[in-house]
Amino acid sequence: MLIEWCPEMSVGVDLLDEEHKKIISTLNDLNDAVVSNNVRLGLKKYLEEMIKCCEEHFIHEEALFLGVDYPGKERHIEEHRKTREYLLDARIKFERGELDNLSPKMMEFLKWWLLNHIQETDMRYVPYLHQPKT
């Protein structure tokens, strides 16, 4: 297992915590696929799942930002956009046969991104969530 969700990662909104857990478990599955004997099948399945659950989650987070005065929202949305782009790019390369497997560098990046995004970037909106927009 690459990463495990822990209570310190909670953003205090059940739906978002559940989505973070799902993204983490999908990344773990993706990592297992990368080291498995059936790389192509695993990669196809979990890369797709990763794109889907990140997409849903980003939409939910960004919708919440609309209702609060969170000053980092633009930067945050930009981080989501870049991540989406990275994953979609990996899928295109995979479909074209240019990507037989995710390299250790790509897995390291995704792991780093996930931990950094949940523990740093996401944590910054937490204080604003319960304050109505002024």
CB of 117 to Fe ion, least distance (A): 6
Smaller CB distance to Fe ion: residue 17 or 48?
17
Q: Looking at 50, 54, 122, 128, which residue binds Fe ion (CB under 5 A)?
A: 122
**Cα angle value 97/98/99 (rounded, 5°):** 90
Q: Is 7 exposed, middle or buried (0-12, 13-18, 19+ CB in 10 A)?
A: exposed
Rounded Cα–Cα distance for residues 62 and 74 (Å): 10
29 is an interface residue for Fe ion by CB under 5 A = no
Per CB under 5 A, which region of 33-41, 44-52, 58-66, 100-108 contacts Fe ion? 58-66
Rounded Cα–Cα distance for residues 60 and 12 (Å): 14
23 is an interface residue for Fe ion by CB under 5 A = no
CB of 7 to Fe ion, least distance (A): 16
Contacts with Fe ion, residue ranges (CB under 5 A)? 61, 122
